[in-house]
Amino acid sequence: MTVTLKKGDAMARTTKELSATAVEKAKAGPKDYRLYDGKGLFLLVTTKGGKWWRFKYTFNGKENTQSFGTYPEISLAEARDKRQEARNKLQNGTDPSGVRKAQKEAQSEQDNTFEVIALEWFNRQVPTWADTHAATVISRLKRDVFPIVGSRAINELKAFDMMQVFRKIEARGKIETAHRIKSICGQVFRYAVSTGRVERDCTADLKGTLTQVLTKSHAALTDVNDVAPFLRAIDVYNGSFVVKCALQLSALVFLRPGELRHAEWAEIDLDAGEWNIPIERMKLKKRIKEARKGEKHLVPLSSKAVEILKSLLPVTGEGRLVFPGMVSTLKPISDNTLNLAIRRMGYNHDEMTAHGFRAMARTILDEVLEFPVDIIEHQLAHVVRDANGRAYNRTTKLPQRKKMMQRWSDYLDELKQVAKVIPITKAA
């Protein structure tokens, strides 16, 4: 290896060093030209007025040029410091341009890791997601994926590497979670393909290799012969009065459990028999919430529902929440409170859940009471569109929905009265 820094080098010769004033006053000419500072450093002034610091040297018998940046971002003094650093590397037998190239390659490799690309993908997607979904996705990546493959370059990962991620999740008995995380990783790989960081999505090669998921819907009682004893069991529930009212109301309004748990007295008009839930509190996609910002989901309250709420008013009416928790009145009853109450009544998780009130209502309203499906779906807060493709607003078909909600309430009362009396709590 030979290093040459000869006084006679074309770019090293100079009779006078540059001054800061000369650099500042250098103007564009009809052609690019150079102002030399000596020892290989020169300023290239372009026809457009750009001023570029360059360092020319010979390494292993080959002439090379290294860029130090532009003026005035890099001053004359700073350019000289960079020149000295480069000369020191040359004296030690190191190509200064090679060092920079290696640094760039290392940075490029670091920017090409699975974790970096996954976070880049996540940040692009999150504005269109519901907050809960975004929190779940990032939590799964940080807990199950990044610790295993996050620091590796994405273009080096193979199907076998990703399979190790999914097998660890399966080993915990989280079969459905493994499938969901495989889907997330696939989306990251496809994003990397679209941005030129990898050739293909290697997780596609794992189709059919994960343990099969046995899909199950939320357990629900949909046979009227089963519903009657369940409703009677709620009426004699001997746990918390607040929880009992929440269960009774769940049967009447068939909202999602989270929407019911967070109910606020300010949303309810007992005189009008209406409950107006802000759209922001509904379980809807973020884009739908944004498009319908400020709207409310109107729930007509039957006379029985109003009666239940009036009985609860003296208990929790001084606070903000209709169903406050026992530990703090500032927080609602927990996610699992209603399900635990149903378990306490003797119904296991394969028979009935808090979410099952929705399926119970939808099935019986359609198959037994024969209400139009679009009215039922609208009351379930599903996005229902008219013949022209427009989404119904909160007041659409309100008279029909009020009639349906009252008929539903009356029907449940009839079921409890005429069905065969059986023990209140089922045998385990």
Tens of pLDDT, residues 343-357: 988 888 888 999 899
Confidence of residue 110 (pLDDT cuts 50, 70, 90): low
- Please name the residues in contact with 362: beta carbons below 8 A apart, sequence gap of 6 or more: 254, 376, 380
Cα separation, 44 vs 312, whole angstroms: 82
> Could you tell me if 96 and 85 are in contact, meaning their C-beta atoms sit under 8 angstroms apart?
yes
Residue 300 pLDDT: 93
Q: Are residues 155 and 256 in the same domain?
A: no
Residue 214 lies in a domain: no
Q: Of 206, 236, 256, which marks where a domain is finished?
A: 206
Question: Is pLDDT above 80 for 164?
Answer: yes
Confidence of residue 291 (pLDDT cuts 50, 70, 90): low
Q: Are residues 75 and 155 in the same domain?
A: no
Of all residues in the chain, what percent carry a pLDDT higher than 70?
83
Q: Are residues 167 and 299 in the same domain?
A: no
Q: Are residues 281 and 249 in the same domain?
A: yes
Which one has a higher pLDDT value, 196 or 323?
323
Q: Are residues 97 and 123 in the same domain?
A: no
Residue 378 pLDDT: 83
Which tokens belong to 77?
Answer: 């003094």
Cα separation, 328 vs 308, whole angstroms: 22
Q: Are residues 331 and 392 in the same domain?
A: yes
Phi-psi region at 155: left, alpha or beta (left = phi > 0; alpha = psi -120 to 50): alpha
Residue 200 lies in a domain: yes
The lowest-confidence range among 127-136, 391-400, 419-428 is 419-428
Question: Is pLDDT above 60 for 12?
Answer: no
The lowest-confidence range among 82-96, 233-247, 284-298 is 284-298
Which candidate in 33, 190, 286, 392 is catalytic?
Answer: 392
Of these ranges, 45-49, 106-110, 312-316, the one predicted with the greatest mean pLDDT is 312-316
Q: What average pLDDT does range 28-36 have in this prediction?
A: 92
Q: Are residues 125 and 165 in the same domain?
A: yes
Which candidate in 56, 182, 261, 355 is catalytic?
Answer: 355
Which tokens belong to 291?
Answer: 């498009």
Question: Is pLDDT above 50 for 9?
Answer: no
Q: What average pLDDT does range 66-95 have in this prediction?
A: 88
Confidence of residue 278 (pLDDT cuts 50, 70, 90): confident
Confidence of residue 11 (pLDDT cuts 50, 70, 90): very low
- Please name the residues in contact with 62: beta carbons below 8 A apart, sequence gap of 6 or more: none
Residue 157 lies in a domain: yes
Residue 100 pLDDT: 58
Mean pLDDT (the chain) is: 83
**CATH code for position 299:** 1.10.443.10
Q: Of 103, 125, 144, which marks where a domain is finished?
A: 103
The lowest-confidence range among 167-176, 239-248, 285-294, 336-345 is 285-294
Whether 285 is a known active-site residue: answer: yes
Q: What average pLDDT does range 43-56 have in this prediction?
A: 91
Alpha carbon distances (Å) from 335 to 98, 148, 167, 325: 59, 32, 29, 11
Which tokens belong to 388?
Answer: 């022209």
Residue 212 lies in a domain: no
Residue 250 pLDDT: 94
Q: Are residues 123 and 55 in the same domain?
A: no
Which tokens belong to 344?
Answer: 């306490």
Whether 347 is a known active-site residue: answer: no
Residue 38 lies in a domain: yes
The lowest-confidence range among 125-134, 308-317, 347-356 is 125-134
Q: Of 103, 124, 150, which marks where a domain is finished?
A: 103
Tens of pLDDT, residues 176-223: 889 989 999 999 999 999 888 888 999 999 988 998 866 556 778 888
Whether 392 is a known active-site residue: answer: yes
> Could you tell me if 321 and 263 are in contact, meaning their C-beta atoms sit under 8 angstroms apart?
yes
Of these ranges, 8-17, 153-162, 388-397, the one predicted with the greatest mean pLDDT is 153-162
**CATH code for position 58:** 3.30.160.390
Residue 43: phi and psi, rounded to 5, are: -105, 120
The lowest-confidence range among 66-70, 83-87, 238-242 is 66-70
Whether 237 is a known active-site residue: answer: no
Which candidate in 296, 358, 378, 401 is catalytic?
Answer: 358
Residue 345 pLDDT: 87
Note down the domain range covering 51. 3-103
Confidence of residue 395 (pLDDT cuts 50, 70, 90): low
Residue 43 pLDDT: 94
Q: Tell me, what amino acid is at 143? A: R
Cα separation, 245 vs 333, whole angstroms: 12
What does pTM read for this prediction?
0.49
Whether 382 is a known active-site residue: answer: yes
Which candidate in 285, 287, 310, 320 is catalytic?
Answer: 285
Q: Are residues 126 and 234 in the same domain?
A: no
Domain count, the chain: 3
Which candidate in 142, 168, 190, 256 is catalytic?
Answer: 256
Tens of pLDDT, residues 407-423: 999 999 998 887 444 33
Question: Is pLDDT above 90 for 59?
Answer: no
Whether 355 is a known active-site residue: answer: yes
Residue 286 pLDDT: 57
